[in-house]
Amino acid sequence: MSEPLLTVEGLEVRFGKVHAVAGVDLHVGSGEVLAVVGESGSGKTTLGRCVLGLQTPTAGTVTLDGRAVTGVDATLARTVQPVFQDPYSSLDPRWPVARTVREPLDALGIGTPSEREARVAALLDSVGLERGLARRLPRELSGGQRQRVAIAAALAPEPALIVADEPVSALDMLVQAQILNLLSDLRERLGLALLFISHDLGVVRHLADRVAVMYLGRIVEEGSVGDVFADPAHEYTRALLGAQPLVDHLTSHTEP
């Protein structure tokens, strides 16, 4: 068996006396989707920030593609990229779509100017956005279109892993399904791995291979989606499954 793309071992993050993350171990293989699910305050976003190099752990290690994650640098940015919850606040309101998508290429010095321009056009195509939107500002786009822009920007440096932190929770149900379908399609086409962070087990059932359930900074249950949904072992997992309706039918329609 090959080494996992992402390995987290003994991860702890303390803020004063509060353990936001308390001894987490997990791994994600190349091309795999691991969903980390838990309610607000469970520690899942802090875990994601550690993987992105945005948060320094109190203890433990994060290893990505054989390299220890100790902070943000160019090598890390080529390997992992984020997609955040709110597609409006995560985009610079002053920048048109093309600049937002091109920014990672500019920052990392990837390609010539003409190559970057061609890459931006290809990225818009890949996330189902018309090229005519390239000059639009975020305020001129719908919520689903803004999240597609954020995904295109994340894909720009061709990362092996995307950390998607609640990427559909700010969207209505139909658009949620469209974005989940897009992520699933990109995973299949590009061989992307995803660390998909959510408070809702329902939205991950059609996307993830495995689920890790976090509660009070710890992973209390982990397993395949089929096993966890069919026979949850922990009472907290059972409560999550019972608390929210499941997304049973995802649509492949593209948002107009």
pTM: 0.91
Q: In what order do the strands lie in the sheet with 18-28?
A: 18-28, 6-15, 59-64, 67-68
* Tens digits of residue pLDDT in 28-51: 999 999 999 999 999 999 999 999
Bridge-based pairing of strands 80-83 and 161-165 is parallel
The CATH class of 6-90+158-243 is: alpha beta
* Tens digits of residue pLDDT in 113-161: 999 999 999 999 999 999 999 999 999 999 999 999 999 999 999 999 9
